[in-house]
Amino acid sequence: MFMRLTKTLSNFGPGLLYAGAAVGVSHLVMSTKAGATYQFLFLLLIPLIHLIKYPFFKYGPQYTALTGRNILHGYHALGKWVLAIYIIMTLLSMCLIQAAVTIVTSSIAIYFFGLSMPAEYMPHFPAIMVLLTAALILYIGQYSMLDRVMKVIIIILTLTTVTALTVVLTTAPGGFHQGSVPQFSLGEYADIIFLAAFLGWMPAPMDISVWHSVWSEEANRSKGNRASLHRAMLDFRVGFFGTALLAMAFLSLGALVMFGSGEQPSANGAAFAGQLINMYTESLGDWAYPLIGIAALATMFSTTLTCLDAYPRTLEESYFIWKGKGDHESRHGATKMVYHAMLVAAVTGTVITFIVIKNVSGAMGLIVTTATVVSFVSAPVIAYINYRVMHGDTINRADRPGRLMSLWSQLGIAIMVLFSLAYLWLIVMR
């Protein structure tokens, strides 16, 4: 049985890396807070937003399965200016998002291990330690170690989350705190801005469609053969729809365990980490505290790890493609050197961001807002580029999206453009 499980897991790779990157702040934090604050009002929005964004996340691994190359080659084929747009958007968001997910990871570690140190070192010093640990794993092991670690983490997270939800539904089907009525108003700025952020970050920033393609190419290279289109799409759908179900599970746990308890989800990272772990413990029992703490920490560490791999890896690929060295054979062994240089740059920039957050009043709020705005604006841009690539000259005419998928994509792009404009208007009018 163990051998069968190992063989099954070996067939999955980039899809689980996608899951590791996606199941982070949007799931562990935003989905749980949505349930804790608005009960089940947002539940059906999760599959809806996944359906809207589905084509664009699908195009990444699909392009690699059809061509054997990552989708950044398709960007370059549209024009160097398209690749330049992607590089600029990546540089704008890289250190900001990396800092945000690493701080959430360190906040969970602080609570779980009961770390105590002078206030001037919290939570940024632990965040630097988490960042350096992730960087060391990637520096030594690169893709192969990332692939192995992520499979274990995703399995642990899925099992613990499903178990917790099952226990809650069987012991208290209506929830532990009944009688409260969810309140949401289109006239309340806080409600609207939370809804916008919830949908904007779900299931993940659109960059991950590119990351998934790059990971797929790397997986093909490490295994020595190209995954078939059927296998690549199965791997993608397991990760994509699996994370949608996990988001719904997190929201349901927040609704069943925290909603109506009188305890408001904390804006403080370490405090919310405690609320999150206690939510699981309350439903499963005190015996589950270590398991749940490890699962929550592993989940956010997986996001830190995958983001820290993806940004340098996509920048490395962009650099070589820009220089006309898209084929790995033409790089003469320089791939690892450039990857390491990009990794060092990402770590350095993120540490500088930590220092700014610590020493500049209001910097954290500004950084989160900036990262969110960049993600909102970039989502329809990357979606449109992915759409153009899949209808471009690098894809055989017979392999291009059909009429239904094209209409689906056009509708999704229109919705995301309107959504991004509405979010920017909310920020400006605040």
For residue 354, give the CATH number of its domain. 1.20.1740.10
Residue 185 belongs to some domain of the structure:
yes
33: amino acid identity, one letter: K
Phi-psi region of 285 (alpha: psi -120 to 50; beta: other; left: phi over 0): left
Q: Six-digit token pair at 271?
A: 């405090």
Side-chain half-sphere exposure of 247, counting CA atoms within 13 A: 32
Q: What's the sign of the alpha-carbon dihedral 40, 41, 44, 47?
A: negative
Q: What pLDDT shows up at residue 295?
A: 72
| Integer Cα distance of 102 and 105 in angstroms | 5
Residue 1 belongs to some domain of the structure:
no
Check if the beta carbon of residue 283 is closer than 8 Å to that of residue 253.
yes
Check if the beta carbon of residue 18 is closer than 8 Å to that of residue 234.
no
Check if the beta carbon of residue 339 is closer than 8 Å to that of residue 139.
no
The count of structural domains within the chain is 1
Residue 313 belongs to some domain of the structure:
yes
pTM higher than 0.75, yes or no? yes
User: Vertex 308, ends 307 and 313: CA angle to 5°?
Assistant: 95
Q: Six-digit token pair at 422?
A: 């509405």
| Integer Cα distance of 322 and 265 in angstroms | 45
Range of the domain at 287: 16-429
Residue 94 belongs to some domain of the structure:
yes
Residue 394 belongs to some domain of the structure:
yes
Residue 9 belongs to some domain of the structure:
no
Q: What is the DSSP letter of 185?
A: -
Q: What pLDDT shows up at residue 24?
A: 75
Residue 158 belongs to some domain of the structure:
yes
Residue 11 belongs to some domain of the structure:
no
| Integer Cα distance of 151 and 17 in angstroms | 8
Q: What's the N-to-C CA distance of the chain in angstroms?
A: 57
Chunked in runs of 10, what are the mean pLDDT values of the chain (430 residues)? Answer: 47 77 79 89 94 96 95 95 94 88 85 72 78 89 68 78 82 70 84 84 89 91 86 92 91 84 67 72 73 77 88 93 79 77 94 84 68 82 96 95 96 93 80
| Integer Cα distance of 187 and 359 in angstroms | 35
